[in-house]
Chain A
Amino acid sequence: MKPTNISDLPRTRVSASPYKPRISVVPPAASDSFSSLAPPATPWWRRLLPGRHVTVEAAARRPAGQALRLYLRNPAAVTGTVVLLLIVLMALSAPWFYPGDPLDMVAQPLLWPGQDPHYWLGTDSLGRDVAAGIMHGARASLLIGVAAAAVGLGIGTLVGACAGYFGGRTDTVLVRLMELFQATPSFLLMIVVVSIAAPTITVIALTIGVTSWTTVARLVRAEFRALKQRDFVLAARSLGYSDSRIIFREILPNALPPIIVTTSVMVATAILMESALSFLGLGDPNRVSWGSLIGSGRDMLRTAWYLTAIPGSAIIVAVLSLNLVGDGLNEALNPRLRSRTE
């Protein structure tokens, strides 16, 4: 089916140019002076909350309170949230429990877990404390996961929003860009980029973000294509709002639920990607991460497999709890899915 362009829709009050009406109900200048008289603007983050801005549209989905209740009634999602909070706590308190550098050699090498109560997760082949590595590794893994997801979300939302909102040629070009990134094996691309630039946390997070935005972009594009047909967008346009204002302040708040759901999955994927990178020895050599622990434990796989098993389990617990949170959010925010499964 040919995508319906906004300019194809019957227009009565909007003038010839679909995006910048020459005759608007409230002239831009007037609306500006009006807003300066208005009470102090709501803080920016309030506008991001669904249900704040265009109440009719948000109500059609689900009020935030009801979504929260649904989420809290889901035992798997609550478990995931609690575990995730514990991991975050662990990452934050790592310097307090293990003040030294986790790369320092502190004890006799290759102590098995439980062999020495002081090093309860054992030590590696160089006598480094595994427990310290796991706790400090949580910092790198979570930091990269969150930063990469933020980059990916930013790019994906921007590209998807522009493609879905403007349609036409912009859409064609941006969809081609998405296809291009989707056809390139992202992990190969990531290896190339990380090895070109220095393997620091910033570069790794940026690279993972840059190679993983297509999923969000597709999602946001679909949402925008559906939402821009609604009356409130037409109303905003006839008020003479600029495109960027309509995109970010009118449509985006209503497109948030699927973006929120994707976020937790993106963080999970980024953590997995980072672990694979540092396992291959392409991670930041000065930081301990769960992947680099597996990489360095691999040499002792035949004799001391706990060095591989323990950090791997840490990755699984973190990623699993993120996925549980994602599934819970999906069920709470997506009424269509819920009505189908129950």
Chain B
Amino acid sequence: MHSAQRLAGALRRALVHALPTVLGIVILNFLLLQLVPGDAADVMAGESGSATKETMAMMRSHFGLDLPVWQQLLHYLDHLAHFSLGFSPRFNMPVMELIWSRLPNTLLLMASALAISIVLGIACGAAMATWAGKWPDRVLTLLTLLLYSTPGFWVGLMAVVLFSVHLGWLPSDGNMTIGATLSGWDALRDRLSHALLPALALASVFVAIYARLTRAAMLEVQTQDFVRTAEAKGLHPFTVQLRHVLRNALIPVTTVAGIHLGNLLGGAVVIETVFSWPGLGRLALEAVQGRDYAVSLGVLLLSSFMVIVANLLIDVLHAWLDPRIKA
């Protein structure tokens, strides 16, 4: 009961703290996209090849593009309060619907990449810290540094060459076999085999980051008194490492994981392009190339919100991991 209250308090404080950031992001994104030269009507006119002044004006008034900036912002905020992100002139459907249709794919990609990178990264880091200064530490340090210096999209491209082109083990694009009517286990296996390479490519840099971080944090914790106490109690060294050192070392790792969520999403933009993965990142790229305000604004906004929400959850997680943390 007491701990539940504490967690609720932590959540409330974090929520209040996040509110101005949310508002700032809304306004920043809106103002930024106002700076775009040319609007969606120009693009559509250019694509259709011909448009009279009247049709252009009609399109502008239809999509509200001819109003003053502050009115457009008010409209936008009003729509936002009703959970509407506007209408995409280019894709000809509501932005919210468009984003919802792509979001699960990106979330799947991000979640699997995050899981891979956290599990592998912490395992690597723990191994490095346990054998600090010895050969496993040196080899892993070199490997993680190499991974840390390699662009994720290049890892993806090389993985395609090796696993798809030469070995033929895994598919190289899309998120499922097109035209195949699979069900049950076969469908799941099909999905997983499509997700494996992009998730690994996206995870590559983050594995290195978390490994380095876990190593540093564990070395820091190992010098503390409670670790000596635990050892003096006669606990098995493995138990000490796992229950006392690693648990406390997880706090900086989860903090950084929260900070890096935005980077993970940025990485997803490139990885999705490499693997033709139908997700938010590719949507954002297409929208930007097509000058579709509403969509790029929506993706930017929604992904920022996702980062904020995830960080809220991480704050609560910290309050659970370390009872000393209050705020």
Chain A residues packing against B (C-beta within 8 Å): 176-177, 179-180, 182-193, 195-196, 268, 272, 275-276, 279-280, 294, 298, 301-302, 305, 308-309, 312, 315-316, 319-320, 322-324, 327, 340-341
B285 touching A340 by the CB < 8 A rule? no
Identify which of B113-121, B183-191, B261-269 touches chain A: B261-269
A321's nearest neighbour on chain B, judged by CB, is B149
Question: Which of B21, B151, B281 lies in contact with A176, CB distance below 8 A?
Answer: B21
> Which residues of B are found within 8 Å of A184, using beta-carbon distances?
25, 28-29, 262, 300, 304, 307
Given contacts A195-B288, A276-B270, A301-B165, contact A188 B157 (CB under 8 A): no
Total B residues in contact with A, Cβ cutoff 8 Å: 52
Interface centre among A187, A189, A279, A324 (most CB of B within 10 A): A187
A305's nearest neighbour on chain B, judged by CB, is B161
Chain B residues packing against A (C-beta within 8 Å): 20-21, 24-25, 28-29, 32-33, 35-37, 132-133, 145-146, 148-151, 153-154, 157-158, 160-161, 165, 219-220, 223, 259, 262-263, 265-267, 269-270, 273-274, 281, 284-285, 288-289, 296, 299-300, 303-304, 307-308, 311
Total inter-chain residue pairs, C-beta < 8 Å:
134
Instruction: Please measure, in the bound complex, the distance between the C-alpha atom of A110 and the C-alpha atom of B270, giving whole angstroms.
Output: 26
A183 touching B304 by the CB < 8 A rule? yes
B21 touching A180 by the CB < 8 A rule? yes
Question: Which of A189, A294, A320 lies in contact with B146, CB distance below 8 A?
Answer: A320
> Which residues of B are found within 8 Å of A316, using beta-carbon distances?
146, 149-151, 154
B151 touching A276 by the CB < 8 A rule? yes
Interface of A (DSSP majority class): helix
> Which residues of B are found within 8 Å of A272, using beta-carbon distances?
151
Task: Tell me the minimal C-beta distance from A306 to chain B in angstroms.
Answer: 10
A315 touching B307 by the CB < 8 A rule? no
Interface of B (DSSP majority class): helix
B263 touching A319 by the CB < 8 A rule? no
B154 touching A196 by the CB < 8 A rule? no
B164's nearest neighbour on chain A, judged by CB, is A302
> Which residues of A are found within 8 Å of B165, using beta-carbon distances?
301-302, 305
Given contacts A186-B262, A298-B157, contact A279 B270 (CB under 8 A): yes
B300 touching A196 by the CB < 8 A rule? no
Question: Which of B36, B157, B220, B266 lies in contact with A187, CB distance below 8 A?
Answer: B266
Interface centre among B220, B304, B307, B311 (most CB of A within 10 A): B304
Instruction: Please measure, in the bound complex, the distance between the C-alpha atom of A340 and the C-alpha atom of B215, giving whole angstroms.
Output: 12
Q: List 21 A-B contacts (CB under 8 A).
A: A176-B21, A180-B21, A182-B262, A183-B25, A183-B311, A185-B263, A185-B265, A185-B266, A185-B307, A187-B270, A192-B296, A192-B300, A196-B32, A276-B151, A280-B269, A294-B154, A309-B158, A312-B158, A316-B149, A323-B145, A327-B145
A324 touching B296 by the CB < 8 A rule? no
Instruction: Please measure, in the bound complex, the distance between the C-alpha atom of A328 and the C-alpha atom of B32, giving whole angstroms.
Output: 39
> Which residues of B are found within 8 Å of A315, using beta-carbon distances?
150-151, 154
Question: Which of A183, A188, A340 lies in contact with B299, CB distance below 8 A?
Answer: A188
A290's nearest neighbour on chain B, judged by CB, is B151
Given contacts A320-B145, A340-B223, contact A185 B153 (CB under 8 A): no
